[in-house]
Chain A
Amino acid sequence: MTAAAPASDTPVPAMAAGGERGGVMTMVRYALRTHRWAFAGVSLIGFIGPYATGASYAKLAATAAARAAFGRQTTAFGPQLAYLVPLPFRPDTVAGYLWWKGLTWMSLLVAVWGLAAATGLMRNEEERGLMETWLSTPFSRVRLLLSRAGAFAIAALGAVLITALGTAAGLAAGKASVAFPALAEQGVSILGIALASFGIGLAAAQLASTRRSALALGGVVMLALYALDALARVNPGLDGWAAISPFHLADLTTAIVPGGQFAGAATLALFGIAVVLIALSALGFRRRDLLASLFGHRARQTAVVRSASTFPLVRIPVLRSLWQQRIGLAGWVIGSVAGAAFIVSIARSTGKLLQSASGFKNYFTEAGTSSATTAVVASVWLSIAALIIAAYAITQTSHWASEDAGGRLEMQIAQPLARWRVVVERAVTLVVAALFMAAVGSLVTAAIAPSQGVHLDSGGLVTATALLALLALTFGAVGAVVISRLPRIAVPALAVVAVVGFYIPLFAPLFKWPGWVLDLSLFHLYGTPLTTGVYWTGLWVMVAVVVVGWGVAVAAMRVREVGS
């Protein structure tokens, strides 16, 4: 159903000031506002990542000989990570290394942003009733959808421009330069994958009936396309199929690298995918009902239920919260298991390579072991597990914020339930879920490790797993404090803590930052407990953050006003 065009003599108050163009601009401005936090986050990473990568390259390989050696080692190491990122291209140059280590991840990041923006924006507005309001104005559905796509394109372009600035700054820090056209071509490629991903998300939003199912559907499609690209890298027989993957199309452009190329056809294909999918989505949006799938079926006739659920998990504290997020939690656990299995499966071959390459020796000596294979498991897997745990804690913070804003908190504390119990239940739920995810990942690691010739200390593994739960509780403490005062910025604030904390340990040794800077990173505080044992300073700092943070959250919950 489409909004009918108003008759020429019909007064149109909403657009009286600026006519239909004014209405479009209003919609674009509104949509841009919804992107502001994601834009800030992506731009921040887009600048810092490439800059720091370029700057660190100058430290890692200061001379021509060192660069040549580093390039050989990275080229040899690259295939180990071919399931995750493209093969290195000219890593003996700062631009090549920056493309491989900085911009390929950036493509992945903007793709996730595009997907989340498209599914979240459209479906979230429908679920909150905003879409009904927009469509009650004399504004067609197609125009509305295009205004949303236009706003994302503007936001993505801004983030890409900042990424380009970061790239130029990184190259300059690495004592290299790049021509403006090459930088622009690389940026256009990244913009292309952002828009293509937005298109995929928008199409998924027409096929699903809820925001979560749209995100899940779009996520599965994106994951499949990512996997197709990854498989094609290690299996040339799939190369033809990989051409349908936006990730593959984006990876083909290496314009900033000496001897690299701008894959014009591939980039055009990315924009083509975006245009086609956005157009199809517009057609779908015109045809479907609000809050329904394009191919929605009639509801099945089911017996009327007049009784409360007797399922016990719905009523038991902590378990009821875990049960409500069971599907999402299953996804997180599957992600942890897949990550653990993948890292352990490549540990032996990667370890051998590291052992043979003098340039990488510091990676495992810093991990506190003479076995490079163990170092891969201890450092790489547990670093990834810590990131997964941090990301989970951020989603939980987002969940708490929506509980507070959506009236659930009001309903909870309108029951005979002390306010502190709400905070404690949140903390316990977080730690139980994180412990479960970490434990399953560790069990998989322990089960697969012997087949790879990796012998892990079971005590160390238990300690590392338990500390992951403490790490989650630490992130949660920060989130709980921010939520009690500034709920709207809690998620971005926690994301900044995570991103900055992730980069600090990477660059502190290279730039010889003092130890206290390292201790600002929660990931550094977690340490490498599997191989070097517990980092006690970090442990006590985390315990202090947990005690103070959750204590403040409890105190704030006791006095805060709800629903005012």
Chain B
Amino acid sequence: MANAIRTEGLTKDYGEARGLFELGLEVAAGEVFGYLGPNGAGKTTTIRLLMDLIRPTRGRAEVFGVDCQAHPVDVKRLVGYLPGEMPQWGGLHGRDVVAYVGGLRGHIDPGRVTGLAERLELDLGRRYREYSSGNKRKLGLLLAFMHPSRLLVLDEPTSGLDPLIQQEFYRLVEEARGEGTTVFLSSHVLSEVERVCERVGILRRGQLVQVARLDELHHLRYHRLEADFVGEVPVDAVRALDGVEQVTVEDHHLSCAVRGGFGPLLQVLGKGQVLNLVTHEPSLEEVFLAYFRDAPEKPPAPPGAVA
């Protein structure tokens, strides 16, 4: 399948180790790709490079094979864009903003605009400055989705939206994917990514540290097990097992993390007198938090350095 987005050694060096470094990323056409990372990781920088709002220090980016720096107008014909921060439209009414941006693109589909406004419950008759932050975000989503596009680039799309509208947004993304549109969304809300994305790229300190399908990332997952014993806890036997980590014992209570199957652990636990046993799966959020907490910090490679 052709790539919707492809970058090679894409770098934006702001100095003092800030920016984006040697990004090599491929997003397939038709997929929903989540771009994850903590604040300041370089998510918005990547998006602005794709949209040709800022220029790379080196490297290149393409959208559907079109060079973002050489042919930015052609790229933007293919893209629906939601910026991380909404522009200040001041006293313009919502309907005027829609008409204005539509005019910049050259056309508007009135039926599509009305449909989106109804689904997002957005009153376009009010002035922009009267909008709440959530309504401003809704207007941004409407502007991004109102024209047919092959790629949607959405920077923190659900920031400030209430849960009901978030659900509507997820449905819009599903529909877009159904129509063959590629969706590239940045977020630090992992549940959102978990809900709509097929693959994710994880960015940290300007470097792409992982790209994987969500189900592959689930392999990073572990289960937490809690058990209460009537008598002694067979703690030494538990610690000796492969795939069992973070073992703690307090009085007659055992807590541990289990990767892989439960069989060997259950056999060991069966040697004691188990009163109560509970397991639960940590959320993807906890998995990523553990990942970011534990991963060593790598300074960005200097230009020309060999990895």
Interface set of A (CB-CB < 8 Å, partner B): 127, 210, 212, 291, 302-311, 314-317, 320, 324, 402, 406-408, 410-419, 559, 561-564
Contact = CB atoms under 8 A, between A and B. Distances in A.
Interface in B121-177: 122-126, 129, 143
A314 B83 contact: no
Nearest to B100: A314
A377 to B, nearest CB: 38
Given A303-B125, A324-B92, A407-B88, A308 B110 contact: yes
Interface in B43-96: 48, 51-55, 72-74, 76-77, 79, 81, 83, 85-89, 91-96
A414 B143 CA distance: 11
Contacts of A309: 93, 95-96, 98-99
Given A305-B95, A408-B89, A210 B129 contact: yes
A302 B124 CA distance: 11
A366 to B, nearest CB: 45
Contacts of B125: 302-305
Contact of A563 (B55, B76, B83, B105): B83
A291 B129 CA distance: 9
Interface stretch (B112-120, B242-250, B277-285, B286-294): B112-120
B212 interface: no
B204 to A, nearest CB: 20
B54 A407 contact: no
Interface residues of B, number: 47
Contact of B124 (A308, A317, A559): A308
Contacts of B85: 407
A307 B53 contact: no
B196 interface: no
Contact of A307 (B51, B101, B117): B117
Contact of B123 (A304, A402, A417): A304
Contacts of B143: 411
A271 B143 CA distance: 51
B104 interface: yes
Contact of B102 (A308, A411, A564): A308
13 contacts: A212-B91, A307-B95, A307-B113, A308-B102, A309-B99, A315-B102, A408-B87, A408-B88, A413-B52, A416-B77, A416-B105, A418-B73, A559-B55
Contacts of B95: 305, 307-309
B103 interface: yes
A561 B96 contact: no
Given A127-B129, A306-B124, 15 more contacts: A210-B129, A304-B123, A305-B125, A306-B117, A307-B113, A308-B95, A311-B99, A314-B96, A324-B92, A406-B87, A410-B83, A411-B83, A412-B104, A414-B79, A417-B73
B108 interface: yes
Contacts of A563: 48, 53-54, 83
A172 B52 CA distance: 59
A300 B79 CA distance: 38
A112 to B, nearest CB: 23
B267 to A, nearest CB: 55
A415 B104 contact: yes
B100 A416 contact: no
Nearest to A306: B117
Given A309-B95, A408-B89, A320 B100 contact: yes
A556 to B, nearest CB: 13
Nearest to B82: A414
A210 B92 CA distance: 13
Given A210-B91, A302-B125, A307-B117, A407 B73 contact: no
Contact of B94 (A305, A316, A410, A415): A305
A307 B92 CA distance: 14
A417 B129 contact: no
Nearest to B133: A129
Contacts of B83: 407, 410-411, 414, 563
A316 B101 CA distance: 11
Interface string B292-305: 00000000000000
A563 B88 CA distance: 13
Given A309-B93, A324-B92, A410 B53 contact: yes
Contacts of A310: 99, 110
Contacts of A303: 125
Contact of B54 (A308, A411, A561): A561
B247 to A, nearest CB: 41
Given A127-B129, A324-B92, A314 B103 contact: yes
Contacts of A315: 99-100, 102-103, 108
B158 to A, nearest CB: 19
A52 B145 CA distance: 61
B90 to A, nearest CB: 8
A395 B93 CA distance: 23
Contact of B48 (A210, A402, A564): A564
A197 to B, nearest CB: 25
A306 B102 contact: no
Contacts of A320: 100, 103
B123 A305 contact: yes
Contacts of A561: 53-55
Contacts of B72: 413, 419
A414 B53 contact: yes
Q: Which of A210, A314, A324, A402 has the most CB of B within 10 A?
A: A314
A492 B114 CA distance: 44
Contact of B118 (A306, A408, A411, A559): A306
A415 B88 contact: no
A314 B54 contact: no
Nearest to A563: B53
A397 B174 CA distance: 44
Given A127-B129, A306-B114, A559-B55, A411 B101 contact: yes
Q: Closest 5 CB pairs between A and B?
A: A315-B103, A305-B125, A407-B87, A406-B88, A306-B117
Contacts of B108: 308, 315
Nearest to A323: B96
B104 A417 contact: yes
Given A306-B118, A309-B99, A416-B77, A564 B54 contact: yes
A415 B102 CA distance: 9
Contact of A308 (B51, B89, B113, B118): B113
